[in-house]
Amino acid sequence: MAQRNVLESARHIVVEGPIGVGKTSLARRLASHLEAQASLEQPELNPFLTRFYQDQARHALPTQLFFLFQRMDQLRDLAQPDFFGRRVVVDYLLEKDPIFAQLTLSDDEYELYRQIYERVSPQAPTPDLVIYLQARPETLIARVRKRGIDIERRISDTYLTELAERYSRFFYNYDAAPVMVVNSENLNFVDRDDDFRLLVERIEAMRGQRGYFNRGE
């Protein structure tokens, strides 16, 4: 009997990666391709985010807690009966939430955050598949600067570099769900249909807990 491919069987798919890697764009396209529900982060609704990029030390905790509760509200919706059996593609993994907290919070703030996170995180469902997008820090920096989103103008190069490194360490050890690791350096899933098609084919051919997709120039 042929083994069912992971993309066909997955009901809860996560697309993840650091700022500027293209996770939300890929999540939208993948949801459309699979005729699935898209559940996407809404950073524009976080009233603290602009102030955070102006003064991280002062506004990191409320910014982080707003995102944590926003993500939990969205994930809680996925667990409702209306979503049972319905495919969904999301652009965040709750387990990676502490990456940002560890990077921006003071020790006392992080301890408070950790206590809250540990109380709410068990409610989060485990995905059936995670697609982790990677890119070099200099590529992320260039993409963020190019897209020119006003709220991101104050993000420092140092912050983006450290964030990419922490993502890499996190996913090196992550084993709660199958992971397709994608080097997105030379890929454009929005404007190049061939890139998207190749990714889908690679995921469909994936066997086991971890796969890799790296397209050279």
pLDDT tens digits, one per residue of 132-161: 999 999 999 999 988 877 778 788 899 999
Domain 6-214 top-level CATH class: alpha beta
Using left for φ > 0, alpha for ψ between -120 and 50, and beta otherwise, residue 73 falls in alpha
pLDDT for 1 equals 41
pLDDT for 184 equals 92
pLDDT for 84 equals 52
The rounded percent of the chain whose pLDDT value lies above 90 is: 66
Segment 151-172 mean pLDDT:
90
pLDDT for 86 equals 77
Output phi, psi for 169, to 5 deg. -65, -40
Rounded CA separation 189/163 (Å): 22
Q: Spell out the residues 6+ positions from residue 145 whose beta carbon is closer than 8 angstroms to its own.
A: none
Strand ranges (E), the chain: 12-16, 37-39, 88-90, 129-134, 179-183, 210-214
* Global confidence as pTM: 0.91
- Strands 88-90 and 179-183 turn out to be unpaired
The contacts found for 196-201 with CB under 8 angstroms, 24 or more apart, are 196/29, 196/33, 200/7, 200/33
Under the banding of pLDDT at 50, 70 and 90, the label for residue 5 is: confident
Output phi, psi for 125, to 5 deg. -75, 150
User: Residue type at 171?
Assistant: F
pLDDT for 183 equals 94
Note the pLDDT tens digit of each residue in 57-102: 999 999 999 999 999 988 887 766 555 567 899 999 999 999 999 9
Output phi, psi for 78, to 5 deg. -65, -25
Q: Spell out the residues 6+ positions from residue 168 whose beta carbon is closer than 8 angstroms to its own.
A: 134
The token pair at 182 is 């994608």
With 90 as the cut, is the pLDDT of residue 167 above it? yes
